[in-house]
Amino acid sequence: MAVKDYEEQVFAGVLGKVIGVYAGRPFEGWWKDALEKKWGFIDRYVHKDQNVPLVVSDDDISGTLTFVRALEDSGLYEKTPDEFFGETWLNYLLEGKTILWWGGMGHSTEHTAYLRLKAGMKSPQSGSIETNGKTVAEQIGAQIFIDGFGLVCPGDPQLAAKLARKAASVSHDGEAVNAAVVVAGMEAAAFVEKDMEKLLDIGVSLIPKNSLIAKLHRDVRAWCKKDGDWRKTYDRINEKYGYHIYGGNCHVIPNHALMVMAWSYAPNDFHKALAIVNTAGWDTDCNSANVGCLMALIVGVTGISEKYDYRTEMADRIILPTADGTRSVTDCLTEALQIAAIGRKVMGWKPLKDESHWLDFTKFASPRGFMLEPTERGIDTVDTYWWVAGKSRGYHDFTFWMPIGGTARISKPMMPGSVTGGYSVVGTSKLYSGMTVKAKLLDGTLDGVRMFVRYMGADGQPVMAYSESNDGVRAVGGDKILSLTVPETNGQPVTDLGFEISYPETCYDGKICLATIDLEGDFHYQTDRLPAVRNGIPGWIVDCDMSRGRFSEDKEELVYFGKNSTTGYAYTGNRYWKDQSIEARLAVHLADAAGLMCRWQGTQRYISLTRRGNKLVLARQFYGETVLAECVVDWKLGDVHDVKLECRGNDIIATFDGKKVLKAKDDKLSDGAAGFIYSVGMLGIGTVKINGNI
pLDDT band at 393 (very low <50, low <70, confident <90, very high): very low
- For residue 177, pLDDT beyond 60: yes
Residue 68 counted as domain residue: yes
Is residue 347 domain-resident?
no
For residue 390, pLDDT beyond 80? no
Looking at residue 590, the DSSP 8-state letter turns out to be S
The per-residue pLDDT for range 581-635, each reduced to its tens digit, is 999 999 999 999 999 999 999 999 999 999 999 999 999 999 999 999 999 999 9
Are 644 and 651 spatial neighbours (Cβ–Cβ below 8 Å)?
no
pLDDT of residue 379: 45
Q: How many residues does the chain have?
A: 694
Whole-angstrom Cα Rg for the chain = 26
The CA distance from 217 to 239, in Å, is 15
| Residue 385 and residue 397 in contact, taking contact as beta carbons nearer than 8 Å | yes
Q: Tell me which residue of 645, 673, 639 sits closest to 661, measured CA to CA.
A: 645
Same domain, 608 and 672: yes
Helical residues (DSSP H) of 305-427, grouped into ranges: 332-347
pLDDT score at 318: 96
CA 73 to the chain's CA centroid = 16
Cα–Cα separations (whole angstroms), residue 555 to 91, 292, 583, 694: 37, 59, 19, 37
DSSP 493: P
Residues 321 and 362 in one domain: no
Q: In terms of Cα–Cα distance, which of 105, 100, 106 is closest to 144?
A: 100
Instruction: Work out the pLDDT band at 38, boundaries 50, 70, 90.
Output: very high
Same domain, 321 and 368: no
Task: Look at residues 520, 546, 576 and tell me which one is the last residue of a structural domain.
Answer: 520
Q: What is the pLDDT of residue 386?
A: 47
Q: What percent of the chain has pLDDT over 90?
A: 82
pLDDT at 378: 41
- Judging by beta carbons within 10 Å of its beta carbon (0-12, 13-18, 19+), is residue 517 exposed, middle or buried? buried
The total of structural domains in the chain comes to 3
CATH number for the domain spanning 241: value is 1.10.4080.10
Q: Assess whether pLDDT exceeds 60 at residue 512.
A: yes
| Within-domain flag for 1 | no
The pLDDT of residue 664 is 98
Nearest C-alpha neighbor of 30 from the set 287, 290, 289, 278:
278
How would residue 331 be classed by pLDDT, with cut points 50, 70 and 90? Answer: very high
Average pLDDT over every residue of 50-73: 96
Tell me: pLDDT of 376 over 70: no
Residue 344 maps to a domain: no
Comparing 535 with 222, the larger pLDDT belongs to: 222
- Quote the pLDDT of residue 387: 44
- Cα–Cα distance measured from residue 571 to residue 426, given in angstroms and rounded to the nearest whole number: 11
Instruction: Look at residues 551, 567, 545 and name the one whose alpha carbon lies nearest to residue 675.
Output: 567
- Clarify whether residues 17 and 164 are in a common domain: yes
The tens digit of pLDDT for each residue in 620-646 reads: 999 999 999 999 999 999 999 999 999
Q: Does residue 204 fall inside a structural domain?
A: yes
Distances (CA, A) of 409 to 94, 260, 398, 496: 35, 43, 10, 11
Query: Is residue 182's pLDDT more than 70?
Result: yes
What is the share, in percent, of the chain residues with pLDDT greater than 70? 93
CATH assignment at residue 601: 2.60.120.560
C-alpha span between 616 and 621 (Å, rounded) = 16
Domain boundary pick from 470, 494, 520: 520
Range of the domain at 635: 524-693
Q: Is residue 337 part of a domain?
A: no
Other Cβ atoms less than 10 A from the Cβ of 390: the count is 6
Mean pLDDT of the chain: 92
- Report the pLDDT value the prediction gives residue 475, as an integer from 0 to 100: 53
Q: So what's the pLDDT on residue 372? A: 84
Q: Across 151-213, where does the E strand assignment appear?
A: none
Rounded to two decimals, the pTM is 0.95
Q: Compute the distance between CA of residue 467 and CA of residue 184 in angstroms, rounded to an integer.
A: 46
CA distance 271 to 251: 25
Give the model's pLDDT for residue 534: 60
CA pair distance 597, 570, nearest whole angstrom:
9
CB atoms within 10 A of CB 662: 19
- Across the range 61-73, mean pLDDT stands at 98
Within 13 A of 71's CA, how many CA atoms are on the CB side?
30
Residue 490 has pLDDT above 50, yes or no: yes
pLDDT band at 380 (very low <50, low <70, confident <90, very high): very low
Domain boundary among 496, 520, 544: 520
202, part of any domain: yes
The reply to whether 489 and 530 lie within a common domain is no
pLDDT band at 81 (very low <50, low <70, confident <90, very high): very high
Q: Which has the minimum average pLDDT: 138-152, 177-191, 282-296, 421-435?
A: 421-435
| pLDDT one-digit tens code per residue, 417-463 | 755 444 668 899 999 999 999 999 887 777 788 999 999 988 889 99
Residue with the bigger pLDDT between 666 and 373: it is 666
For 608, list phi and psi in degrees, rounded to 5.
Answer: -130, 155
What pLDDT was estimated at residue 562?
96
Structure letter (DSSP) for residue 326: G
Examine the domain organization and report whether 140 and 241 are in the same domain. yes
Question: Omega into 124 within 30° of 0, i.e. cis?
Answer: yes
- Give the confidence band of 468 by pLDDT, cuts at 50, 70, 90: confident
pLDDT digits (tens, 9 = 90+) for 546-587: 999 999 999 999 999 999 999 999 999 999 999 999 999 999
The pLDDT score that the predictor gives to residue 404 is 65
pLDDT in tens, 348-363: 999 988 767 999 988 8
Verify that 474 and 530 share a domain, yes or no.
no
Of 382-386, 393-397, 410-414, the range with the lowest mean pLDDT is 382-386
Tell me the C-alpha distance between 121 and 599, whole Å. Answer: 27
* Inside any domain, residue 336: no
Whole-number Å distance between alpha carbons of 393 and 555: 62
d(C-alpha 344, C-alpha 611), whole Å? 43
Q: Which amino acid is at 424?
A: S
Q: What is the pLDDT of residue 352?
A: 87
Q: pLDDT confidence of 302, banded at 50, 70, 90?
A: very high
313 and 361 together in one domain? no
* Cα–Cα dist 433/488, whole Å: 5
pLDDT digits (tens, 9 = 90+) for 21-31: 999 999 999 99
Omega of the bond prior to 403 within 30 degrees of 0, cis?
A: no
Whichever domain contains 433, its CATH number is 2.60.120.200
Which tens digits make up the pLDDT trace of 673-689?
999 999 999 999 999 99
> Are 114 and 178 part of one and the same domain?
yes
Check whether residue 285 and residue 405 sit in a common domain: no
Whole-angstrom Cα distance, residue 241 to residue 183?
A: 19
Query: Based on the domain organization, do 507 and 529 belong to the same domain?
Result: no
| 431 shares its domain with 552 | no
Span 457-471, mean pLDDT?
Answer: 85
- Nearest alpha-carbon partner for 503 in 368, 577, 400: 400
| Phi and psi at residue 390, to the nearest 5° | 70, -145
